[in-house]
A = this chain, B = another copy of it.
Amino acid sequence: MGQQQRGEETRSRILDAAAERFAQHGYAATSVMEICQRARVTKGAFYHHFPSKQTVFLELLNRWLLGLDERLAEARAKASSVPEGILSMADQAQHVFNMAEGQLAIFLEFWIEAGHDPAIWQATIAPYRRYRDFFSNIVRAGIAEGTLRQIDPEMAAQVIVSLAAGLMLQGVFDPKGADWGQVARQSIQMLLEGLERKRA
């Protein structure tokens, strides 16, 4: 096994160990030392790969978001029009709710710590702004193909992301309050009614 490959393997073991500890004991109650023990790596090896526990968490979040990005891209590629693609993306919501279930406390604890560190904070909201760009491009494509009205793409993306964030928030805080996957689809459908160009 080459040095680079061994490095990758160590890095991945740290991430897996951290994910397990966070899930079992929470974010705040997990120390770097405990992650090292579970991953069977030295503190030196840990800090070689990650500057802090926060960056491990961010990396786990990014790893998970990459999976979501692939699903969104696939939904878009398979759809024959932009509105159909957006609706098919809404169907991914159930998957997001499933993944997020039971993780609320971990996120809350992370955010409390992140709030004190501007650099971590910027990294935390970066994916968020990225989704705004992602959707404004999609809306632009919808206007170009003639399925969406001449709306402001930035604003429409803002509405889509806000709606998605609000649905996530409710699904995570009040999981039994509704069938959130179903609500996500119908909500997006209702929004699309306002965005779609009506055929004459």
Contact = CB atoms under 8 A, between A and B. Distances in A.
- How many A residues touch the partner, as a band? 35 or more
Contacts of A158: 178, 183, 186-187
Identical copies in the complex: 2
Interface of A: 104-105, 108-109, 111-112, 115, 124-125, 128-129, 151-152, 155-156, 158-159, 161-170, 173-174, 177-178, 183, 186-187, 190-195
Given A108-B112, A191-B194, A170 B162 contact: yes
Contacts of A156: 190
Given A166-B168, A191-B194, A194-B195, 8 more contacts: A108-B112, A112-B112, A152-B186, A155-B183, A158-B178, A163-B166, A166-B166, A191-B191
B174 A167 contact: no
Contacts of A191: 159, 190-191, 194
A156 B189 CA distance: 11
A170 B124 CA distance: 12
Nearest to A184: B162
A161 B166 contact: yes
B163 A162 contact: yes
